[in-house]
């Protein structure tokens, strides 16, 4: 049955083609659309009617500027697409021939119903206009089989229109000169417009027209939006200047910085929009409760600049820090659940950052799917892809020439004698020594920080401490970050690595240094937090007794209720969360200042000195010793990444930190752009950026994860302070979620959540996830194995093909030229299958 149906369908198809062919000879299309079951029985009548349509068709076609052009164009396009002038034509011809054969069958049936011809013409015209969309309902309602024929044609036209649209959409991918593209585009658009307008009738027509209009508007809107988006990207010109001066590697830092700025803007919007602004607008005003008031003891110095600079005084008791927030469940007339919002924003800051980092990593890797294969093409890569087309500065270009030459020479030498170890024992000894020294440095810096943080805790208990003693931690950390990397570089000179490998080691060591410093800092801070937590109980008692004594004190008129104790006088705990937030805030600010001062001293003053003292100096300063500074990409990127890590860690306890960071990134964009253009010189060894791009992203992800850990630890296992912050009075911070579920959601939801939180469910879920990871991993492994096997197969096949070809001799030269024109990547495969 099905076969029969199919056969009939083919007939109908053939009929359609027959007509189509007679309308525009010599061309064809591939609308191999199988009619549905309903249609099939009517196919005969349909085939008959098709002839009838012919005159009308022709007339209509004659009226248009280019009769029959759509199909011819389509064929043409196909040919262009394949880019094989000769072959393409022959293939179309072949298909046409096939069709002619089938048409032979169909034409028999066409002849059976000649009398219908004339009267069907007008109907035909109408049907022509019916859109595809309405096909099935109209089919069902229609009595005769005549009309289903036009559906066929309609489908064809629609298909062509779709083809044209596709062509329009992909035109820009064609390597044609603009004039030709314009011509093709105009033709295609004309066609689309002509037939699009003709498609549809009555209600359907209007609907169709509407749809098309909306589609057009949508395309236009998308394009405008895209234009708008690109216009909104800031600093394009600055980055372009840097690109042309320093090549893409230095510019990649600035692009990274800009990206970071965007991410921080989003975080800033989240935190300010959902936490700080609601608190400022709707929360209890300053001075109404103890946590929002400067204590009496600090009051007189609270506005001093030196105090404010340390984020103490009024700044400490402001919405910038955790401690200011009240634990009232809802605030304002909106009944905004601030503690809940605070918690959720804290979580979503991490969620968003994770998502965006992973997304950009994924989009970076998409381009270069095959990492492992790059080793196969070292020479061709050096040849074909080593030039950086963005370079527009002759000095940079010279450097680039030099570096390319060196890399060529190097690779030749490598090729000649890849194993030229002179004194392997000495090298090994030196490398071990260097690593030992560096580990010593790392340990030393870690201990130094621990020591300093401990000492600062003692200082904080003392009354009058000097400026240095107050800021010792930040200063020491910044100094370590400033002087250790050059020290590492000096030590690394011992190792005698290839510069590229050396750079990797250097990056790894700086990363370890920063990470070690950060974590030592955190550990010391954690000690402090625990200390404060243990003191909390006593302070709680003191507070309680103070209030109790105050209200129950004798000698007060019982009839008049006593005015409440002024909030500034209430004794309160140390609020470890705010203390942590302040530490991060100070660290960020001092880090920023040290960076700027380093740039100013190390780059700008050095450049000035070299530039102007060169006239009266005994050696050539510009070429000789100090010379100009190069832009330290890796150091800067790492600094940026760690700064971001601090922001992530601190933003939960200091919501204002992100705002500070946005300012910092903004200023550093301008400042560093200026510094790099004014006082740096292009790199001696210009290396490419994109390769390390994902490396930096990976580091960022790692730092994000590492900064997530301490925050998650404090949220999950430390009790919040009893008298400050949005979670005060709770046992744990995450209790706020449970509270919301219990009070604000219907009971069954609470049950569901309780059920979901059951370990009996979570453990299987985690197991399932592991299994899924395992499964996906094995699938990807097997796929890559299959990939490798296919590659081997192709190779083997090509060997066979070659021997084959050599027999055939010159005749196959033509063949290889054909493949040369083939744009598809599987060109060789095509060739094979052809053979």
Nearer to another protein by Cβ, of 116 and 181: the residue is 181
Q: What span, in angstroms and rounded, lies between the C-alpha atoms of 372 and 271? A: 42
Signed CA dihedral, 469, 471, 476, 479: sign only: negative
- Please state the closest distance from residue 612 (CB atom) to another protein, in A: 28
- Please state the closest distance from residue 796 (CB atom) to another protein, in A: 10
Q: Does 235 bind another protein (CB under 8 A)?
A: no
Q: Does 308 bind another protein (CB under 8 A)?
A: no
Q: Does 630 bind another protein (CB under 8 A)?
A: no
Give the Å distances, CA to CA, from 184 to 85, 178, 179, 606, 644.
17, 10, 9, 59, 50
Q: Taking the CA of residue 486 as centre, how many other CA atoms within 13 Å lie in the half-sphere pointing to its CB?
A: 5
Residue of 6, 206, 223, 785 that binds another protein (CB under 8 A): 223
Q: Does 387 bind another protein (CB under 8 A)?
A: yes
Nearer to another protein by Cβ, of 751 and 793: the residue is 793
Residue of 93, 162, 398, 458 that binds another protein (CB under 8 A): 398
Nearer to another protein by Cβ, of 106 and 239: the residue is 239
**Contacting another protein within 354-383 (CB under 8 A):** 367-368, 370-371, 373-381, 383
3-state secondary structure of 722: coil
Nearer to another protein by Cβ, of 136 and 170: the residue is 170
**Contacting another protein within 787-816 (CB under 8 A):** 791, 794-795, 798-799, 802, 805-806, 809-810, 812-813, 816
Q: What span, in angstroms and rounded, lies between the C-alpha atoms of 676 and 245? A: 10
**Contacting another protein within 415-474 (CB under 8 A):** 415
189 forms bridges with which residues in the sheet?
A: none
- Please state the closest distance from residue 606 (CB atom) to another protein, in A: 26
- Going by C-alpha positions, the residue among 664, 635, 632 that lies closest to residue 647 is 664
Residue of 6, 66, 240, 428 that binds another protein (CB under 8 A): 240
Long-range CB contacts for residues 437-443, cutoff 8 Å, separation at least 24: 437/491, 438/488, 438/491, 438/509, 441/484, 441/487, 441/488, 441/491, 441/513, 442/509, 442/512, 442/513, 442/516
Stretch that binds another protein, among 21-29, 397-405, 502-510, 728-736 (CB under 8 A): 397-405
- Please state the closest distance from residue 221 (CB atom) to another protein, in A: 13
Nearer to another protein by Cβ, of 235 and 550: the residue is 235
Q: Does 216 bind another protein (CB under 8 A)?
A: no
630 forms bridges with which residues in the sheet?
A: 681
What x/- string results for residues 134 through 173 when contact with another protein is judged by CB under 8 A? ----------------------------------x--xxx
- Please state the closest distance from residue 81 (CB atom) to another protein, in A: 13
**Contacting another protein within 730-759 (CB under 8 A):** none
790 forms bridges with which residues in the sheet?
A: none
3-state secondary structure of 630: strand
Three-state secondary structure string covering 172-187? HHCCCCHHHHHHHHHH
Stretch that binds another protein, among 408-416, 434-442, 504-512, 541-549 (CB under 8 A): 408-416
Residue of 401, 467, 556, 612 that binds another protein (CB under 8 A): 401
Nearer to another protein by Cβ, of 420 and 461: the residue is 420
Q: What span, in angstroms and rounded, lies between the C-alpha atoms of 407 and 422? A: 22
Stretch that binds another protein, among 157-165, 384-392, 496-504, 539-547 (CB under 8 A): 384-392
Q: Answer for the pair 73, 167: CB distance below 8 angstroms, yes or no.
A: no
Q: What span, in angstroms and rounded, lies between the C-alpha atoms of 83 and 85? A: 6
Tokens of 712: 């998650």
Tokens of 105: 């069958």
- Please state the closest distance from residue 217 (CB atom) to another protein, in A: 13
793 CB contacts (<8 Å, ≥6 apart)? none
- Please state the closest distance from residue 315 (CB atom) to another protein, in A: 42
Q: Does 335 bind another protein (CB under 8 A)?
A: no
**Contacting another protein within 19-78 (CB under 8 A):** none
Stretch that binds another protein, among 331-339, 410-418, 434-442, 739-747 (CB under 8 A): 410-418
Nearer to another protein by Cβ, of 418 and 549: the residue is 418
Nearer to another protein by Cβ, of 410 and 569: the residue is 410
Residue of 2, 230, 419, 552 that binds another protein (CB under 8 A): 230
Q: DSSP letter for 336, please.
A: B
Q: Answer for the pair 356, 658: CB distance below 8 angstroms, yes or no.
A: no
- Going by C-alpha positions, the residue among 105, 1, 133 that lies closest to residue 47 is 105
232 CB contacts (<8 Å, ≥6 apart)? none
Tokens of 795: 């190779």
Phi, psi of 582 (to 5 degrees): -65, -40
Residue of 231, 549, 559, 833 that binds another protein (CB under 8 A): 231
- Please state the closest distance from residue 637 (CB atom) to another protein, in A: 16
Q: Does 390 bind another protein (CB under 8 A)?
A: yes
**Contacting another protein within 167-186 (CB under 8 A):** 168, 171-175, 177-179, 181-182, 185-186
Give the Å distances, CA to CA, from 579 to 196, 323, 326, 522.
68, 9, 17, 12
- Please state the closest distance from residue 251 (CB atom) to another protein, in A: 10
- Please state the closest distance from residue 681 (CB atom) to another protein, in A: 16
Stretch that binds another protein, among 103-111, 324-332, 411-419, 757-765 (CB under 8 A): 411-419
3-state secondary structure of 767: helix
**Contacting another protein within 814-833 (CB under 8 A):** 816-817, 819-825, 827-828
Nearer to another protein by Cβ, of 184 and 591: the residue is 184
Q: Answer for the pair 627, 621: CB distance below 8 angstroms, yes or no.
A: yes
**Total residues contacting another protein (rule CB under 8 A)?**
87
Give the Å distances, CA to CA, from 172 to 234, 544, 824.
27, 75, 16
- Please state the closest distance from residue 209 (CB atom) to another protein, in A: 20
- Please state the closest distance from residue 394 (CB atom) to another protein, in A: 5
Residue of 244, 348, 360, 471 that binds another protein (CB under 8 A): 244
Nearer to another protein by Cβ, of 381 and 713: the residue is 381
Residue of 31, 39, 396, 707 that binds another protein (CB under 8 A): 396
Q: What span, in angstroms and rounded, lies between the C-alpha atoms of 645 and 655? A: 15
Element (H, E) at 61: helix 43-63
Q: Which class for 254: exposed (0-12), middle (13-18), buried (19 or more C-beta within 10 A)?
A: buried
3-state secondary structure of 680: strand
Q: What span, in angstroms and rounded, lies between the C-alpha atoms of 155 and 134? A: 11
Q: Does 394 bind another protein (CB under 8 A)?
A: yes
What x/- string results for residues 665 through 694 when contact with another protein is judged by CB under 8 A? -----------------------xxxx---
- Please state the closest distance from residue 740 (CB atom) to another protein, in A: 45
Nearer to another protein by Cβ, of 6 and 808: the residue is 808
User: Per residue in 461-495, is it b (16+ CB within 10 Å) or e — as a string?
Assistant: eeeeeeeeebbbbbebbbebbeebbebbeebbebb
Phi, psi of 331 (to 5 degrees): -125, 150
Nearer to another protein by Cβ, of 608 and 788: the residue is 788
Nearer to another protein by Cβ, of 170 and 777: the residue is 170
- Please state the closest distance from residue 817 (CB atom) to another protein, in A: 7
Q: Which class for 42: exposed (0-12), middle (13-18), buried (19 or more C-beta within 10 A)?
A: buried
Q: Does 411 bind another protein (CB under 8 A)?
A: yes
Nearer to another protein by Cβ, of 415 and 569: the residue is 415
Taking the CA atoms of residue 415, residue 421, residue 422 and residue 427 in that order, the dihedral angle to the nearest 10 degrees is 130
């Amino acid at each position: 049955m099905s076969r029969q149906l199919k056969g009939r369908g083919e007939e109908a198809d053939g009929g359609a083609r027959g007509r189509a062919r007679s309308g525009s000879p010599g061309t064809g299309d591939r609308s191999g659309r199988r009619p549905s079951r309903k249609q099939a029985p009517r196919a005969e009548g349909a085939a008959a009617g098709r002839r009838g349509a012919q005159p009308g068709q022709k007339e209509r076609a004659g009226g248009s500027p280019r009769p029959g052009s759509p199909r011819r164009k389509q064929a043409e396009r196909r040919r262009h697409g394949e880019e094989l002038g000769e072959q393409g034509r022959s293939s179309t011809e072949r298909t046409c021939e096939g069709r002619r054969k089938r048409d032979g069958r169909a034409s028999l049936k066409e002849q059976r119903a000649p009398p219908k011809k004339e009267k069907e013409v007008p109907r035909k015209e109408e049907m022509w206009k019916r859109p595809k969309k309405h096909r099935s309902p109209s089919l069902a309602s229609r009595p005769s089989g005549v009309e289903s024929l036009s559906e066929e044609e309609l489908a064809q036209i629609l298909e062509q229109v779709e083809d044209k649209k596709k062509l329009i959409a992909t035109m820009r991918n064609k390597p044609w000169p603009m004039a030709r593209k314009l011509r093709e585009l105009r033709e295609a658009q004309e066609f689309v417009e002509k037939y699009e307008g003709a498609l549809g009738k009555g209600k359907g027509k209007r609907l169709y027209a509407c749809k098309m209009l909306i589609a057009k508007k949508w395309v236009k809107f998308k394009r405008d939006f895209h234009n708008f988006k690109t216009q909104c990207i800031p600093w394009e010109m600055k980055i372009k200047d840097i690109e042309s001066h320093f090549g893409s590697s230095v510019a990649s830092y600035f692009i990274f910085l800009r990206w970071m700025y965007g991410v921080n803007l989003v975080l800033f919007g989240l935190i300010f929009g959902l936490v700080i602004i609601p608190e400022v607008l709707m929360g209890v005003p300053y001075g109404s409760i103890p946590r929002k008031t400067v204590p009496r003891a600090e009051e007189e110095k609270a506005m001093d600049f030196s105090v404010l600079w340390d984020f103490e005084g009024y700044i400490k008791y402001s919405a910038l820090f955790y401690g200011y927030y009240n634990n009232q469940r809802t605030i304002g007339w909106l009944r905004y659940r601030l503690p809940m919002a605070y918690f959720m924003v804290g979580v979503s800051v991490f969620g968003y950052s994770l998502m965006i980092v992973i997304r950009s990593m994924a989009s970076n890797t998409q381009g270069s799917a095959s990492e492992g294969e790059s080793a196969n093409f070292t020479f061709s890569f050096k040849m074909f892809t080593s030039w950086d087309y963005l370079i527009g500065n002759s000095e940079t270009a010279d450097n680039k020439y030099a570096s390319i030459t060196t890399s060529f020479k190097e690779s030749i030498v490598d090729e000649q004698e890849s194993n030229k170890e002179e004194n392997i024992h000495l090298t090994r000894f030196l490398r071990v020594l260097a690593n030992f020294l560096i580990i010593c440095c790392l340990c030393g810096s870690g201990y130094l920080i621990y020591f300093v943080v401990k000492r600062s805790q003692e200082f904080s208990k003392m009354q009058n401490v000097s400026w240095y003693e107050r800021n010792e931690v930040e200063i020491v950390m910044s100094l370590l970050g400033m002087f250790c990397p050059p020290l590492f570089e000096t030590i690394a000179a011992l190792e005698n690595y290839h510069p590229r490998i050396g750079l990797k080691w250097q990056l790894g060591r700086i990363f370890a240094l920063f990470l070690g410093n950060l974590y030592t800092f955190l550990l010391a801070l954690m000690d402090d937090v625990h200390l404060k937590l243990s003191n909390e109980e006593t302070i709680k008692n003191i507070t309680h007794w103070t209030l109790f004594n105050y209200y129950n004190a004798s000698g007060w008129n019982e009839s008049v209720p006593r005015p409440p104790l002024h909030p500034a006088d209430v004794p309160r705990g140390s609020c470890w969360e705010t203390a942590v937030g302040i530490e991060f805030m100070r660290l960020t600010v001092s880090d920023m200042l040290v960076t700027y001062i380093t740039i100013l001293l190390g780059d700008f003053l050095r450049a000035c000195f070299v530039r102007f003292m060169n006239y009266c100096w005994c050696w050539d300063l510009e070429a000789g010793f100090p010379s100009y500074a190069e832009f330290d990409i890796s150091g800067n990127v790492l600094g940026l990444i760690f700064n971001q890590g601090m922001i992530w860690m601190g933003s939960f306890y200091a919501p204002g930190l992100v705002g500070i960071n946005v300012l910092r990134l903004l200023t550093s964009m301008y400042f560093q752009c200026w510094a790099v253009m004014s006082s740096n010189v292009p790199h001696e060894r210009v290396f490419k950026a994109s390769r390390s791009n994902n490396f930096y992203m990976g580091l960022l992800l790692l730092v994000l994860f590492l900064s997530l850990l301490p925050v998650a630890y404090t949220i999950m296992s430390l009790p919040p302070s009893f008298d400050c912050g949005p979670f005060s009075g709770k046992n744990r911070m995450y209790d706020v979620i449970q509270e919301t579920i219990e009070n604000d959601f219907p009971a069954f939801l609470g049950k569901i959540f309780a059920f979901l939180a059951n370990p009996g469910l979570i453990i299987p879920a985690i197991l399932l996830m592991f299994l899924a990871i395992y499964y996906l991993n094995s699938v990807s492994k097997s796929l890559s194995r299959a990939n490798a096997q296919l590659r081997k197969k192709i190779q083997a096949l090509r060997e066979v093909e070659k021997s084959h070809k050599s027999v055939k001799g010159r005749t196959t030269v033509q063949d290889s030229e054909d493949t040369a024109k083939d744009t598809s990547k599987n060109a060789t495969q095509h060739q094979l299958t052809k053979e």
